[in-house]
Structure 1
Amino acid sequence: MDRIEVPRGDYQEDFVLWLERQAELLRAGKFELLDVDHLIDELEGAVRADRRELEGYLENITAYLLSLQYRPRYKPRHWRIKLGNARFGMGLLIDDSPSLVFDIAELAALNYDDARRRAAWETRLPESIFPAALPYSAAELLDDDFDPSYPPDEGS
């Protein structure tokens, strides 16, 4: 039986090599040789990274929705393009990890203050104009057709 050797310190010295070795060990069923502590750290880190990425998309989406709603005739095409890009990116992330959809409402609410500040900066409106709490549901944040600008901005 072939013995797979994992160099000591490999995790710190060459992360990609370490990942390849861990995958090789898993495929070979050599669980006793796995670097379990670092694997746990990396798996938890991957979850945190996906949630941070979702938070970024939600902040962008919320800021653009606020901008469209409270200043619908000021750069509407620009905001709609950016809104579409953010929703597309979020959709790809959710396609890869569908369970993230259950975090949308909570993460959007947690990041609302940042989105509100950004919308105020982008629209050049006072922050107090925007609602104190997130005015959009998770369904609206996900809905590619949801645009709160009123009246609708035809032609933009």
Structure 2
Amino acid sequence: MTDQLSLTKPNFYDQDFNLWLENTINSLKEGKLLEVDYDHLIEELEGMGRSEKNAIKSNLRILLMHLLKYQYQPEKRSNSWRYTITEHRQRIRDSLETSPSLIPFLKEIFDKCYQDSRRLASDDTGLSINNFPPDCPFTFDEVLYLD
């Protein structure tokens, strides 16, 4: 089956992604740079960067939402909320450990994610969005490192 597929076919990437990936890796390892499908390789690398940023953004929103719920609904605190806070802190820290260059991105999106988390917390709790302060009551370090 493998020999029927060719890197020169424009749809090779779409026919068998895993095989395309293996061939691309082997071509790079062997220095066969003329065999590399650079257009799709670039597309995949760009997608990886976007995915990593989207994951950090999502984890930050969830973390901030649960911190708000935890602070503004103390009577409803649960182990589940504490677990979610710990889990999403760890996910963000893991991403930053692997890619410390994402720290400026995280700081850049922090305020926007806080605003998103206010809406999420309001929707989740049934409380008015005005119950949650317009400016984040937590510092960057408190959000990521205070356990």
Q: State the distance in 2 between where 1:58 and 1:29 align.
A: 40
Task: Quote how far apart the aligned CAs of 1:65 are.
Answer: 0.9
Secondary structure of the structure 2 residue equivalent to 1:73 = helix
Matching of residue 133 in structure 1 with residue 135 in structure 2: yes
Using a 3 Å threshold, how does the CA distance of structure 1 residues 144 and 20 change in structure 2: closer, same or farther? farther
**Any conservation in 1 of the 2:7–2:37 contact (CA below 8 Å)?**
no
> After the TM superposition, which parts of structure 1 deviate over 4 Å for at least 4 consecutive aligned residues?
none
Code of the aligned partner of 2:73: R
Secondary structure of the structure 2 residue equivalent to 1:68 = helix
* Cα deviation 1:5-57 (Å, max 9, x = unaligned): 62522111111111111101100111122111111111111000000000011
Unaligned runs of 5+ in 2: 1-5
2:90 matched to which residue of 1? 88
Q: Which has the higher contact order (CA 8 A, sep 6+)?
A: 1
Quick one: percent identity of the two aligned structures?
A: 33
The aligned length equals: 141
Q: What aligned pairs does 1:51-90 form with structure 2 within 5 A after superposition?
A: 51-90=53-92
**Any conservation in 2 of the 1:105–1:137 contact (CA below 8 Å)?**
no
Q: State the distance in 1 between where 2:140 and 2:15 align.
A: 42
**Any conservation in 2 of the 1:120–1:126 contact (CA below 8 Å)?**
yes
RMSD: 1.7
2:118 matched to which residue of 1? 116
Unaligned runs of 5+ in 1: 146-156
Code of the aligned partner of 2:104: F
2:7 matched to which residue of 1? 6
Task: Quote how far apart the aligned CAs of 1:124 are.
Answer: 2.5
Matching of residue 45 in structure 1 with residue 47 in structure 2: yes
* Cα deviation 1:41-92 (Å, max 9, x = unaligned): 1111100000000001100110011111211221343311111111122222
2:3 matched to which residue of 1? none
